[in-house]
Structure 1
């Protein structure tokens, strides 16, 4: 037990520090190069290697590779050592080859992921940045496999903390650009040396991350010896096990490709309203789920899986219902606050340096629309875990693919209907509507599987949570109105005042109202906090 608690503490601390330094990284990025043409070129080039890795490796890493390593450790005479070496050799050779091809194919990739025209300055800058950034494919992939091997040895520290080093390296790179380059966010003035600093510096962060993981492997006694006897690498078994996951990744990447094309086209029409606002707002939107939802889901899935294995469907329904209510007891007020306070959140974070306050406000406008998606997205993820607890990986693929297809259609519709200055907000709205519909479909199918999910009880609980959160939304709206209309504008200090009043006091108001309404999940949170303060 003590070993498990220690591992959990290491993972929690590493995840929190990684998210904090990741936030600092995006802040420094916006400060150094802004969210206009140069920022869009960087974010487009930066997204491509991750899309390629999703297709080739990361989509099957947790669902296929880790279980196969564990199986080799359990059944092979050498406890899986030769299999691990084959896997690392295959990953290194394949990804080095992919990285080289990707560097040469950078113009084609930028053409696929954006709406920019070859020969334009923004296109050429993105291509050059991509050529500096794409070599990280090899290091990232090898690091991912190394991290998987470490996890199978119950070594969680390095995989959790290595991304922190990556973030720190990139933060230093962007600070160096801001200090030593006079180009700022001017894409016409940026030099090849400036782009090399940004691109190669980004790759250096991944190199440092991979180096830490490889050193950690050596410390647990893993000695890498290249092995090319790939007949024993069980590639056919890996392909069969990961086929559904790979199919889902392909569909989602096609949807992402459409998103970046539409966002880049919007940025062409209205500078500062393109890929960068979409990317930065999406990262902020994902943060509450990453902090609140993932921890609950991580604890929920093993308990539901055990209940399924023992035929206790009532316990599956109970576990699902309690998880939904616990997550939504916090997600509901946060989603309303995002819808009201979006610009007040983004101005203090992104309204500095090369990024203007107006640019930061637009990121906040996109975040406001994303607030609509927070609860449906969390419910969607919870519902997929019902299928995973039954060992069903195929149904989530079909649900996810259908949701992505609906998202794609809605993005095209909203993009055609809305003026260019609202196009990226329309992409966020399409995401929210698609996940709301996807959650409804997932609920119907999961309810048939479990013979009911307690929809009436959960619906009444959510209604009470929204009623308890209404005073919080009113307080936040009043704070925004007073500052924007009376004090005249959302500057840095004014935004902090709005956040302290509408966000800080608003959440305290929600906890108080929900406590008086006897919402059990909020009472548990209040009791836990009060108990810790009492100590």
Structure 2
């Protein structure tokens, strides 16, 4: 076996591990949201949690996520050093990060009212909002130590990945979901299993925040145990600041953290405006989890194998093949995301009803969340398409262009939020995000067209436009079957509810891929082969 073949096989294996781990974590994450929805619906506790989680969740994604700045810095440095150098480096970085984030935690606890008013000023404008505000302040104080845990989790991700350990870091978010599910389950059992008990709502907000904190702690402890077993460092103070590896990690970590943080500001902007609409924050959270479950799984199938391919083709002599690979990435994105668009837009109400509607999450809550899910469905292609183009820039060694576009998008997103929220209420916030992603794609394609000596943009646009037409017909077919199902059979039990989603979805996929097959796209064959390989495994 040649070295390149071995490398490609290794990358395929890594992609498979990451995809399976992501699938398991996403499924349990959705189950966690089902439990939260059943317990609190779209009421004050769920809305308060959405606001209280903004800063801890931001830090967890930014610092503790795969491909985050801590992860990327440690992987890039440790992968070029002997394993014996890892422990002193990791322990020193851990000591510095823990000290800094301890200060952040103290500030969050003391100034929790200020931060809640900063991210959700609309809560103070009504009596109902004031109740949500007070719950959110208490929840933020409970979850404040997640600032420290976020950094430690990011360090664990990077350290373990640098030593070719992918399964445990990928699966570790599962422990966070289990902690939340378990804590709410214990509270329910202590109250006799009655989720509609007012006492459950009163105590549940604090238990929800405590379970989230405990879940992050479990996620870190599992990684720490693996680090210690692999002799990659433990949790003990160390101050080897003159260590060249430590200095290199810090040099990479600072700018990367700033750049990554800019991408999350749009989330805060959306929730800033959402604070002025009753139940909007909870609706965004519930709908977002449904949309991100398939999106996260499929994006790993597309992005993970393509990243090294883009990097290998960064030299000018390989740009013709790079253009082919960019087209391949965008069309694979269209072929996977557009059928989901047809399904989420036309079946949003049955999907929300099946996943969430029970106990405190009633039919009125479904009516609030379903239009938001429909809006998310419309943006699936643009969300993933933007991610693909960002990776092309990274492969070309250009992180500045995506960063500058992100800066511009902050102002565009705020403007779109302001106008669209008045027209569409909560779905308008999602439409604003779609607009930002669409603008980003247009700008990045224009820059790449100039940099790579021309792209066949008109040809690509015709193909994608044809696939959009296929999406419309697929959506019409899906909607028609769903309406007939509801008219003739109803949705009075779980089997009928599942059937109302499964059969229209099959119709949507069939129509879409029948239309797509007329184009004889090589990307369609690639997609079919990838699906077959996953099924065989």
TM-score where L is the length of structure 2: 0.88
The Cα of 1:534 is off from its aligned counterpart by: 11
Using the TM superposition, name which of 303-312 and 155-164 deviates more.
Answer: 303-312
Residue 328 (structure 1) aligns with: 334
- State the distance in 2 between where 1:169 and 1:442 align: 41
Do the aligned residues in 1 keep the contact of 2:54 with 2:268 (CA within 8 Å)?
A: no
Among 342, 356, 367, the residue aligned to 2:362: 356
Residue 279 (structure 1) aligns with: 285
The Cα of 1:42 is off from its aligned counterpart by: 1.6
Q: SS where residue 312 of structure 1 aligns?
A: helix
| Superposed CA offset, 1:108-161 (max 9, x none) | 221112122299322111111112222222223212212211111111122012
Do the aligned residues in 2 keep the contact of 1:515 with 1:523 (CA within 8 Å)?
A: no
Q: Does 1:255 align with 2:261?
A: no
Q: SS where residue 361 of structure 1 aligns?
A: helix
Do the aligned residues in 1 keep the contact of 2:74 with 2:159 (CA within 8 Å)?
A: no
Using the TM superposition, name which of 227-236 and 391-400 deviates more.
Answer: 227-236
Using the TM superposition, name which of 258-267 and 500-509 deviates more.
Answer: 500-509
The Cα of 1:484 is off from its aligned counterpart by: 5.7
Q: Does 1:228 align with 2:225?
A: no
Residue 145 (structure 2) aligns with: 135
RMSD: 3.0
Q: SS where residue 215 of structure 1 aligns?
A: helix
Q: How does 1:430-441 map to 2 (within 5 A)?
A: 430-441=432-443
- State the distance in 2 between where 1:343 and 1:364 align: 5
Do the aligned residues in 1 keep the contact of 2:44 with 2:131 (CA within 8 Å)?
A: no
Q: Does 1:46 align with 2:48?
A: no
- State the distance in 2 between where 1:233 and 1:48 align: 32
Among 217, 222, 227, the residue aligned to 1:207: 217
Do the aligned residues in 2 keep the contact of 1:342 with 1:365 (CA within 8 Å)?
A: yes
Q: SS where residue 474 of structure 1 aligns?
A: helix
Residue 478 (structure 2) aligns with: 476
Q: SS where residue 79 of structure 1 aligns?
A: helix
Change (3 A) 1:531 1:126: closer
TM-score where L is the length of structure 1: 0.88
Do the aligned residues in 1 keep the contact of 2:19 with 2:297 (CA within 8 Å)?
A: no
The Cα of 1:426 is off from its aligned counterpart by: 0.8
Residue 270 (structure 1) aligns with: none
Q: How does 1:119-130 map to 2 (within 5 A)?
A: 120-130=130-140
| Superposed CA offset, 1:85-129 (max 9, x none) | 211111222223322321222212211121222993221111111
Residue 26 (structure 1) aligns with: 33
The Cα of 1:20 is off from its aligned counterpart by: 0.9
How many aligned residue pairs are there?
522
Residue 458 (structure 1) aligns with: 460
Q: SS where residue 294 of structure 2 aligns?
A: helix
| Superposed CA offset, 1:284-322 (max 9, x none) | 223333222332222222112111136311011011111
Residue 389 (structure 1) aligns with: 395
- State the distance in 1 between where 2:536 and 2:213 align: 47
The Cα of 1:6 is off from its aligned counterpart by: 5.0
Q: Does 1:86 align with 2:120?
A: no
Do the aligned residues in 1 keep the contact of 2:352 with 2:366 (CA within 8 Å)?
A: yes
Q: Does 1:69 align with 2:78?
A: yes
Q: Does 1:266 align with 2:277?
A: yes
Change (3 A) 1:265 1:188: farther
Q: How does 1:2-21 map to 2 (within 5 A)?
A: 7-21=14-28
- State the distance in 2 between where 1:300 and 1:92 align: 35
Using the TM superposition, name which of 469-478 and 368-377 deviates more.
Answer: 469-478
- State the distance in 1 between where 2:15 and 2:417 align: 39
Gaps of 5+ in 2: 1-5
| Superposed CA offset, 1:2-29 (max 9, x none) | 7666544433321111111111111111
The Cα of 1:229 is off from its aligned counterpart by: 3.7
Residue 385 (structure 2) aligns with: 379
- State the distance in 2 between where 1:407 and 1:298 align: 28
- State the distance in 2 between where 1:212 and 1:329 align: 37
